[in-house]
Amino acid sequence: MAPRSFQEYSFRSFTPLPRLVAMTPPFARIAALLEKRTRGGWVWVLPNLVLGCFVLSLFALLVVLQRYEQATQRNALAQDIQWAEQTIRTHLTNNQEFLQQLANGVAEGSLARESFQAQAGQYQRNNPELTHIVWVDADQVVRWTVPFETTAWNAGERLSLPEQTLTFQRANRTQQPAYSVPLVSPEGDATIEVHVPVLHERASRGAVIGIYAAAGVLRHLAPAWFSEKYRLVLETDEQVIGANSAVELQTDISDIVSLNPPGQGLRLRVSAYATKSNVPQKMIVFLIGGLVLLMAWSLWALGAHMRSRLRAERERDRLFNLSLDLLCVVHLDGHIVRANPAFERVLGLAVETLYGRPLIGLVHPDDVQATQEEVRKLARGEPSTGFDNRCRCADGTYRWLVWSVNPALEEGLFYCVAHDITERKRSEDAVRAEYAFRKAMEESVMTGLRAVDMAGRITYVNPAFCRMVGLRAEQLIGCLPPFPYWPRDDNAEQWHNLTLTLAGKAPANGFKMRITHAGGKYTDVRFYISPLIDADGKQTGWMASMVDITESNRTRAELISAHERFVTVLDGLEAAVYVADARTEEILYANLAFCAIFGPDAVGRNSRELTDCCTPESALLLRDPQHLTLADLPCELFDGELQNVVSERWYHVRDRAIKWVDARVVRMVIATDVTERRQTEDENVRQQVRLEQTSRLISMGEMASTLAHELNQPFTAISNYAMGCVSQLESGKYRREDLLAAMQKASFQAERAGKIVRRMRDFVRKSEPNRAAVALADIVEEAIGFAEIEARKAGVDIRINLPPALPPVYADRIMIEQVLLNLVKNGIEAMVHTPRKRRHLSVAARCNEDDQVEVEVCDNGHGIADEETEKLFMPFFTTKAYGMGMGLNICRTIVEFHNGRLWAVSNSGGGMAFRFTLPLGE
């Protein structure tokens, strides 16, 4: 699922919390969508639209009503105008007819002046729209006037205005009544004249003129109700002649009536006054308008209220979403109804995955019981001061949260706030561990600690200090100098030290002091002083650490004496001893013996320079100490003998790499003078060689008669062959072949004798040991070559059993021959009393499991008791009357010289078996 945007969280926040209680996530989403629309203003469109439609409808209704009203008014106006037009026209026509009667009377002369005035006056009074009725003769001179007393028209005056003249002429010309154009006096009064021609037998006798005042026409010709209802304006194209009201009306309910008669463009404009019936209509309009405004205002106010509420909710929502604390709403049954994104930030749990999940499911199993107990307390309405527990994160780890839960039981909800206190817990644990550590350190430390304030008053002592002075902390804290542990006789020095301490002038290497234990015992101590600085960086006193140096003094004294002993011992040694740095070869220590050899200034010099004069004879171990690490130590570097080429003395040198007192790698060399020993050894070796040679000579001596006998045979044979040849040569009867055969045989015998002599010479020849890889078969052949003469004499059968693939041995041939000859000879001699047929002696060899060649000489002789087998090898042990008892001893020495072993075992079938080993000759 894609992560939700901040807005989505915001939208959800508009949903009132209680409504969400029963909402499962899909419903919550729908609600959120609705809220989104609410926020987007869709909801406000409808009421605004309805309001607008309502206002428009009302206005449309008003317009329609007004139109209807206007149409009604127009109809009424049309009817009234029609009626008024008719009435005016009738009036004018009647007036015209009356004036015609008068004109007729004047033309016939039947109408006297008095009658004229009487009739016209009477008529004029009845029709006040006519202001004057006059008779003007053909010369346009006023003759008679009505009313008589008028000043406007005077008898005898002529028509002065051109319009009057024109109208007069038109009437007489057309012999029809003619209306003048409106005549406006300088005072502004307008009049209209109707000229009725006075014709007598077609001759003009002037005209009777009726004068209409424009105002009179409007006042008297239109009925009173008409004048009240309408504003009447008498006008021409050019000007307004008169009006029944000075008020200008802005109304479109008006009509124009063309007056004909009198014609001349004269017309009557009729405009309707506002009727009384408009007042309630306007009131309705105002009322509706007012209501619409009120409604619009209430909608605006509602909108403003909603906006401020939404803003408040947005702010609350932002707080909810941005809160670093975990906020959630939990149903009474424990299921999460709502959670803020802090759950994701702190626990890594996506918010949507939490809905519907039990909150207790997140709690660490060890904290579940305590948490449930707290929740039950809250559900019972008991107050809770908050609790903490561990909640599981998405990655399986747990974080410590402190919960503050506000139950809303009537809503069935818990409002929960959790603050992540993992770090605080960690630091608390760290502080606790640190405190415990410090406490343990304080308890276990052997150094006494004492703090004094700037005035010298003791403010702190640790248990070690209390132990050292034999007083309790309460007895010490608060004490001012002189302190109870100061020795009475030493007070002056103590005061001096304290003064230095308080002045900050205590020496860096501390004070050496003596204190008194409460039990009376004195202890030597060393005080180290350092300033005591508080958290604000201000010095509050001095901290002193007190170390008991009694023991260290004693140890130092012991060390010194141990060192002296050590030096004395080393200097007393005959061996030269020195220690040199493995890297720089600088001699760090040399004993007297070394200095005696290399000079008293040996220490500090380069060991290589001093010992270069020594040549190694046997380097058993020779390693470069440069690359040694402490882990490799101790390590043998050299073990062998060296000769000082200057003094020519021999030393056994043992060179070891060890860790020195300052932890660096050093070489410790012990050189023991072995010159005497070597000389003794050399002498021994020389004597041994002489002994061996003597032994061989003895062996030869022992075999002398046998060898003489052995040599005698070939010599006798040679002599015989030589004599035979001489005889044959002297007789002259000889055959060449016989002589050749005899000479060849003599030669063979001479060779045989020569071989015996060479072998004897080799055997007894004095020579230095010379080891080399030799075939054992060759050695055996040579040795048996001597022994078989004896064996033959003693009737012993020698059997040689050597594997064909036997590897060569690393040996001195003559020495091993000597060993073999001795063993074989002893075997032959041991079988003196053995029945002849059993006198077998075998020489066998094999390669043993230790990669050595093991040689066995086995006989069937008298043997020897088991307990005496080791005695055999002792010098001068012999059972023979003429024996020396040195043979086996020399044999063992020779074998051991060859790094081998010689031993004897009793043969199971009687007799002895002597075995020895030799190294392989690779």
Binding site for ligand ADP (CB under 6 A): 822, 826-827, 830, 859, 861-864, 872, 877-880, 883-888, 912
Helices (H) and strands (E) in the chain, counts: 24, 33
Residue number, 87 or 869, with CB nearest to ligand ADP: 869
CA distance 680 to 130: 195
Nearer to ligand ADP, 794 or 912 (CB): 912
Residue nearer to ligand ADP on the CB measure, 668 or 888: 888
Q: Shortest approach of ligand ADP to residue 776 CB, angstroms?
A: 20
Q: Least CB distance from residue 674 to ligand ADP, whole Å?
A: 32
Nearest approach in angstroms of CB 922 to ligand ADP is 32
Contact call for residues 693 and 766 (beta carbons, < 8 A): yes
Name the minimum Å distance from CB 678 to ligand ADP: 29
Task: Give the shortest CB-912-to-ligand ADP separation in angstroms.
Answer: 4
C-alpha–C-alpha distance, residues 464 and 522, integer Å: 16
Q: What is the DSSP letter of 218?
A: I
List the structure tokens of 790.
């004896």
Sign of CA dihedral 465, 469, 472, 477: negative
The secondary structure of the chain in percent helix, strand, coil, rounded to multiples of 5, reads 50, 25, 30
Q: 216 or 861: whose CB is closer to ligand ADP?
A: 861
Contact, 353 vs 393, CB < 8 A? no
Instruction: Give the closest residue to 415 by CA, choosing from 343, 339, 353.
Output: 339
Closer to ligand ADP by Cβ: residue 278 or 907: 907
- Nearest approach in angstroms of CB 872 to ligand ADP is 5
Report residue 389 as tokens.
């527990």
Residue 81 or 872: which CB sits closer to ligand ADP?
Answer: 872
Min CB(599)–ligand ADP separation in Å:
54
Q: Which residue, 780 or 904, has its beta carbon nearer to ligand ADP?
A: 904
CB nearer to ligand ADP: give 217 or 888: 888
Residue 695 Cβ vs ligand ADP, minimum distance, rounded to whole Å: 9
CA nearest 689: which of 818, 878, 826?
818
Cβ proximity of 829 and 821 under 8 Å: no
Cβ–Cβ < 8 Å for 545, 447: yes
Nearest to 861 by CA among 829, 888, 890: 829
Q: How far is the CB of 627 from ligand ADP (least distance, A)?
A: 53
To ligand ADP, the closest distance from the beta carbon of 818 in angstroms equals 11
Q: Which is nearer to ligand ADP, 529 or 821 (CB)?
A: 821
Q: Of 177 and 861, which has the nearer Cβ to ligand ADP? A: 861
Quote the CA–CA distance of 904 and 750 in Å, as a whole number.
40
Question: What is the residue type of 439?
Answer: K
Choose between 559 and 874: whose C-beta lies nearer to ligand ADP.
Answer: 874
Considering only CA atoms, which of 448, 532, 456, 551 is closest in space to residue 494?
Answer: 456
Backbone angles phi, psi at 341, to 5 degrees: -65, -10
CA–CA gap between residue 248 and residue 851 (Å, rounded): 154
Closer residue to ligand ADP, CB minimum distance, 579 or 894 = 894
Rounded least distance, CB 735 to ligand ADP, Å: 53
Rounded Cα distance between 438 and 445, Å, is: 10
Beta bridge partners, 235, equal 240, 267
- CA-atom Rg of the chain in angstroms: 80
Q: What is the DSSP letter of 622?
A: B
Beta carbon nearer to ligand ADP, 847 or 884:
884
d(CA 381, CA 401): 22
Tokens 């199971």 found at: 908
Q: Which two structure tokens, joined as six digits, stand for 434?
A: 């640190």
From 758, 759, 750, select the one nearest 715 (Cα to Cα).
750
Provide the minimum distance between the beta carbon of 699 and ligand ADP in the complex, in angstroms, as a whole number.
10
| 323, two tokens | 């809160």
**CB closer to ligand ADP out of 323 and 842:** 842
Least distance in angstroms from the C-beta of 774 to ligand ADP: 24
Minimum CB distance to ligand ADP smaller for 18 or for 885 = 885
Q: Which is nearer to ligand ADP, 523 or 893 (CB)?
A: 893
DSSP code, position 109: T
Instruction: Give the residue from 237, 209, 247 showing the smallest Cα distance to 124.
Output: 209
Q: Which is nearer to ligand ADP, 289 or 883 (CB)?
A: 883
Q: Which of 684, 675, 703, 682 is nearest to 893 (CA)?
A: 684
754-759 CB contacts, 8 Å cutoff, 24+ apart = 755/785, 756/707, 756/710, 756/711, 756/785, 757/711, 759/785, 759/786
Cα separation, 204 vs 787, in Å, equals 220
In angstroms, give the least distance from the CB of 752 to ligand ADP. Answer: 28
270/77 Cα distance (integer angstroms): 8
Place of tokens 């239109």: 222
659 versus 871: smaller Cβ distance to ligand ADP:
871
Minimum CB separation from ligand ADP for residue 844, in Å?
15
Peptide bond into 487 cis (omega under 30): no
Q: How far is the CB of 863 from ligand ADP (least distance, A)?
A: 6
Segment (H or E) for 69: helix 42-108
Classify residue 660 as exposed, middle or buried by CB count within 10 Å of its CB (0-12, 13-18, 19+). Answer: middle
Closest distance to ligand ADP from the beta carbon of 647 (Å): 42
Written as one letter, the residue type at 506 is A
CA dihedral sign of residues 777, 783, 787, 789: positive
Question: Closest separation between CB of residue 864 and ligand ADP, Å?
Answer: 5
